[in-house]
Structure 1
């Protein structure tokens, strides 16, 4: 064993993966009856918060690779949860907007999502919860650019 590497019990990548599973498990449970995935939920959440936007911005704000967003947007469009339109000036540029059905999924689950967040805040304490978000933002290369 090399002394240069920390114990796997104190490895940031491993700790983040374990924490992600702890965070995502109740969200997966919440989404289990919706027919949408975690990634699709993120896209709908971003559209609810920011409104209609171009696909590049949506991919960035949803923390998705552009090719993944393309596939996810097509699925959401086929389900009637978003609309896709082309820019009148630049036909290569597309915009995505949430539909009433997509908004209903968010609205119907907002109370449960808020309870999940409240559980995290209770487990960590309000100050540590906010501090954790601040610390994680410092590791986000997109936030530092």
Structure 2
């Protein structure tokens, strides 16, 4: 069994910082910290409506008015299929979504109910001040640039070959 001191003796490849600097400049850690810090400002609104954050993301995705299938919801909301199944069941039981007829019986299409749309509208209105506060503190231009860059980063990393 390797000890911590044995592991510490293994040199890192050239150019890779070590210790705290490596951790503090980690893309994945920075993304997680930014997500957690940002989501804390919005979680209270979901909590007030007795919604989980993934449930809130599903309502947001459906709020455009178009019925969506489970695969599209998984992709847009960044939710795994088994979790989405539980979320759709919970939202349906609360009367916030309803199934929609579809020509393809294999596709499960859903849309917001009027109650779901009203809840979405109420939560967006309540959370708007938090969104605006973040935009003003960070800077609206910087926020737009950040969003563009994050979307570009996602596109670039999705296009990279899988590493084994």
Flag whether TM exceeds 0.5 (same fold): yes
Structure 1: gaps (5+ residues): none
**Over the residues paired in the alignment, what is the CA RMSD in angstroms?**
2.1
Q: Does 1:11 align with 2:23?
A: no
- Matched residue of 1:49: which SS? coil
Summarize the alignment of residues 53-68 of structure 1 with structure 2, pairs less than 5 Å apart.
Answer: 53-68=68-83
1:117 is matched with 131
1:36 is matched with 51
CA contact (8 A) 2:96 2:113 kept: yes
Summarize the alignment of residues 1-145 of structure 1 with structure 2, pairs less than 5 Å apart.
Answer: 2=12, 4-5=16-17, 7-87=22-102, 89-141=103-155
Task: With the length of structure 2 as denominator, give the TM-score of the two structures.
Answer: 0.79
In 2, distance between residues paired with 1:38 and 1:126?
Answer: 24
Question: How far does residue 51 in structure 1 lie from its aligned partner after superposition?
Answer: 1.9
In 1, distance between residues paired with 2:149 and 2:81?
Answer: 26
Number of aligned residue pairs: 144
Considering only CA atoms, is the larger Rg found in Structure 1 or Structure 2? 2
Task: With the length of structure 1 as denominator, give the TM-score of the two structures.
Answer: 0.88
- Matched residue of 1:36: which SS? coil
Give CA deviations for 1:8-52 in whole Å, capped at 9, x if unaligned: 111111111111111100111112211111111110011012521
Structure 2: gaps (5+ residues): 1-7, 160-164
Give CA deviations for 1:36-85 in whole Å, capped at 9, x if unaligned: 11111110011012521111112211221222211111111111110124
